Amino acid sequence: MKTQLGKKDKQYIDVRTPGEFKGNHIKGFKNIPLNELPKRMNELSKEKEVLVICQSGMRSSKVSKLLKKNGFTTITNIRGGMSSYRA
């Protein structure tokens, strides 16, 4: 996962709350909370892969399904979320 960070053809989104994001996040990830995603989807490009992270993997799983439904084709749900990521 670390090797993928910073690639220009990828988009990194953290779907946790702004409070959780502020407390601890991975540099390079953009905070788009799950509840804001439907109205902020236009900030993402369907041409690029989207990597989604949350705290444990539950919210990012929901987001992955939502993105798929909206025409995004390359989505990576970072399993285990921040709980399993060690920067």
Q: Which residues are catalytic?
A: 54
17-62: pLDDT as tens digits: 999 999 999 999 999 999 999 999 999 999 999 999 999 999 999 9
Structure-token pair, residue 45: 């490009």
Residue 52 lies in a domain: yes
Q: Which pLDDT band, with edges at 50, 70 and 90, does 86 fall under?
A: low
For residue 29, give its domain range: 2-82
The structural domain count of the chain equals 1
Q: Are 18 and 44 in contact (CB under 8 A)?
A: no
Residue at 26 is within a domain: yes
Whether the predicted pLDDT of 87 surpasses 80: no
Is 19 among the domain residues? yes
Supply the CATH number for residue 9's domain. 3.40.250.10
Residue 85: band (very low, low, confident or very high) from pLDDT cuts 50, 70, 90: confident
Per-residue confidence at 2, pLDDT binned at 50, 70, 90? low
Q: In whole angstroms, how far apart are CA 45 and each of 4, 10, 29, 41, 57? A: 17, 9, 15, 8, 22
